[in-house]
């Protein structure tokens, strides 16, 4: 039993002095931002939506094109023709073959003068979609930061649990030695020694479990940070920060004004409104203007002289209005209106969800504050009780069960205090996340 304890403590000591790369919370967040698939996807969506703005903005500009062609026609000689007329035979000689070459070049400009303002509304729609994508990216980053903080804090919790479990093993071992010495002197019974050995074994199992939990939590954080689990990875210890929390209504107002989810939903409504206006524009006529100019030469050398010879220029103005298009315009308008209805429903759900999350996080902070205060007081009382009972037991004024009960109470109080601190840190991180902060 003692060898097992020495082995476990030796492993923990080696783990503490290993040369693993130590990462801070901010470093873990930065690594995760570079590798998280949701953040990368959201970032790419911003780029795609930005390209869409350029494309729709380009609809306000004319389309300009240049053209050029080369044509060569080879014709072989024709055979002589023999025919008769008025009793006379006439022989018509064949024509020799020839080659014709032609070169042409030109340019054209086309511009949509009016398309029912579809180009205007599509441009504004693409800008709103880009803003929504930017807010979605901010939300993805905020959610990632919340997850990294939560996992980082959980690793800290398992580290604290490991310390508590290690202290419990050492304390239990000292008590076992004390009982064995008293048993050798005849002042303790064999039953007392055996009970303490059971407690000693239980504490060792708790230590093994705590060590496993710590390693598992560390591997999960490594994966979240984009690192391979099981490598030389460790985190820096840190003191959990506390904040003064105000009234919940102030946090709700701030979240509704700044949370990326709410802002994205708002931009979604704007984009859908522009989509409806663009769909209405399909019912209006379209006016086009065009101009083209070109040259045609039979020799390449003449192509260098763009003079007035052999040229052609065309100016066109056309008005188009489809009388019947297979109900495509009606379907497009109905789809745009449905999209607007969906966007409004999503906006309402997003706003209510943010309010709920803020209130829940705020309540969790208040509960964690009370729990942390009570757990600290309980741990202090348990330590004092442990010292008092052990002193009484050494004097023979306390029973074994009292000492064992005090030891278990102290260990439970220490675990509860660690859990309370972790719950507070996680609740604080959640409150910041519900505010849309990174």
Predicted pLDDT at 43? 95
Closest to 32 in 3D by CA, of 132, 136, 140: 140
CA distance 131 to 133: 5
Which range is most confident: 42-51, 62-71, 295-304, 416-425?
Answer: 42-51
Find the range with the poorest average confidence among 127-136, 174-183, 375-384, 393-402. Answer: 393-402
Q: pLDDT band at 68, cuts 50/70/90?
A: confident
Q: Say what the pLDDT of residue 390 is.
A: 81
What average pLDDT score do residues 190-203 get? 86
For residue 53, give the nearest of 129, 2, 136, 145 by alpha carbon: 129
Of residues 295, 279, 278, the one with CA closest to residue 122 = 278
Mean of the pLDDT values across residues 247-272? 93
84 in a structural domain: no
Longest dimension (CA), the chain: 160
Domain of 334 in residue numbering reads as: 2-63+100-434
List, for residues 345-355, the tens digit of each pLDDT value: 999 999 999 99
Q: Coil, strand or helix: which one is 321?
A: coil
- In this structure, of 71-85, 337-351, 423-437, the range with the lowest mean pLDDT score is 71-85
Nearest to 136 by CA among 35, 268, 275: 268
3-state secondary structure of 270: helix
Q: What is the pLDDT of residues 204-234, one digit of tens each?
A: 998 999 999 999 999 999 999 988 888 788 8
pLDDT average, residue stretch 283-291: 92
Specify the range with the lowest mean pLDDT, choosing from 172-176, 258-262, 304-308: 304-308
Band the pLDDT of 72: cuts 50, 70, 90.
Answer: confident
Q: Mention every residue, 6+ apart, whose C-beta is less than 8 A from residue 3.
A: none
Q: CA 282, CA 322: separation in Å to the nearest integer?
A: 9
- For residue 415 the two structure tokens come to 């675990």
Q: How confident is the model at residue 275 (pLDDT cuts 50, 70, 90)?
A: very high
Q: Is the pLDDT of residue 255 over 80?
A: yes
295 contacts 106 by C-beta, under 8 angstroms: yes
What's the DSSP call for residue 227?
-
* Confidence at 242, pLDDT banded by 50, 70, 90: confident
Classify residue 404: in a domain, yes or no. Answer: yes
* pLDDT on residue 181: 85
**pLDDT tier at 32 (50, 70, 90 boundaries)?**
very high
Does position 89 have pLDDT exceeding 70, yes or no? no
C-alpha span between 49 and 136 (Å, rounded): 12
Residue 92 domain-assigned (yes or no): no
81 in a structural domain: no
Indicate whether 90 belongs to any domain: no
Res 2: pLDDT: 47
- Say how far apart CA 181 and CA 72 lie, in whole Å: 115
- Measured between alpha carbons, how far is 126 from 132 in angstroms, rounded to an integer? 10
Tell me the β-bridge partners of 75.
Answer: 98
Q: Which one-letter DSSP state was computed for residue 229?
A: T
Q: How far is CA 250 from the centre of its chain?
A: 27
70 part of a folded domain:
no
The DSSP symbol for 423 reads: H
The pTM (predicted TM-score) of the whole model is 0.79
Instruction: Tell me the CA distances in angstroms from 328 to 24, 127, 325, 332, one per residue in order.
Output: 57, 25, 6, 6
User: Does residue 85 lie in a domain region?
Assistant: no
Q: Is residue 68 part of a domain?
A: no
What's the domain count of the chain? Answer: 1
CATH of the domain at 205: 1.20.1600.10
| DSSP-based helix, strand, coil % in the chain, nearest 5 | 65, 15, 20
Give the per-residue pLDDT at 280: 94
What 8-state DSSP symbol labels residue 239? P
List the Cα angle 276/279/284 in 5-degree steps: 130
Mean pLDDT of the chain: 85
Rounded distance between C-alpha atoms, residue 280 and residue 336, angstroms: 9
């Amino acid at each position: 039993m003692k060898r097992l304890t020495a082995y476990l403590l030796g492993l923990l000591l080696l783990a503490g002095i290993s040369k693993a790369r130590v990462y801070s919370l901010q470093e873990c967040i930065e690594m995760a931002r570079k590798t998280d698939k949701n953040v990368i996807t959201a970032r790419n969506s911003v780029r795609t939506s930005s390209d869409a703005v350029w494309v729709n903005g380009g609809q306000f500009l004319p389309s300009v094109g240049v053209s050029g062609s080369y044509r060569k026609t080879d014709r072989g000689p024709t055979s002589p023709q023999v025919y008769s007329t008025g009793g006379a035979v006439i022989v018509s000689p064949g024509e020799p073959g020839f080659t014709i070459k032609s070169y042409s070049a030109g340019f054209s400009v086309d511009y949509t003068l009016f398309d029912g303002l579809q180009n205007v509304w599509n441009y504004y729609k693409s800008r709103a979609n880009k803003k929504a994508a930017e807010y979605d990216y901010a939300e993805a980053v905020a959610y990632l930061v919340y997850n990294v903080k939560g996992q980082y804090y959980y690793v800290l919790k398992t580290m604290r649990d490991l310390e508590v479990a290690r202290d419990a093993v050492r304390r239990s071992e000292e008590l076992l030695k004390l009982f064995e010495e008293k048993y050798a002197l005849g002042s303790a019974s064999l039953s007392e020694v055996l009970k303490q050995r059971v407690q000693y074994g239980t504490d060792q199992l708790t230590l093994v479990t705590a060590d496993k939990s710590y390693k598992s939590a560390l591997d999960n954080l490594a994966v979240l940070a984009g690192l391979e689990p099981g490598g030389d990875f460790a985190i820096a210890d840190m003191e959990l920060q506390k904040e003064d929390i105000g009234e919940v209504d102030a946090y709700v107002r701030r979240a509704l004004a700044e949370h990326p989810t709410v802002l994205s939903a708002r931009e979604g409504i704007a984009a859908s409104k522009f989509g409806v206006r663009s769909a209405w524009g399909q019912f209006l006529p379209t006016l086009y203007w065009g101009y083209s100019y070109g040259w045609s030469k039979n020799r390449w050398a003449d192509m260098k002289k763009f003079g007035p010879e052999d040229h052609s220029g065309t100016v066109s103005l056309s008005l188009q209005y489809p009388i019947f298009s297979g109900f495509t315009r009606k379907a497009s308008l109905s789809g745009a209106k449905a999209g607007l209805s969906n966007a409004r429903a999503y906006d309402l759900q997003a706003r209510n969800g943010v309010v709920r999350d803020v209130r829940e996080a705020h309540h969790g902070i208040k509960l964690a504050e009370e729990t942390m205060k009570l757990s600290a007081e309980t741990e202090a009382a348990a330590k004092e009780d442990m010292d008092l009972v052990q002193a009484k037991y050494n004097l023979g004024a306390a029973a074994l069960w009292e000492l064992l009960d005090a030891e278990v109470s102290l260990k439970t109080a220490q675990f509860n205090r660690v859990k309370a601190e972790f719950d507070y840190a996680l609740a604080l991180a959640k409150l910041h996340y519900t505010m849309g902060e990174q």
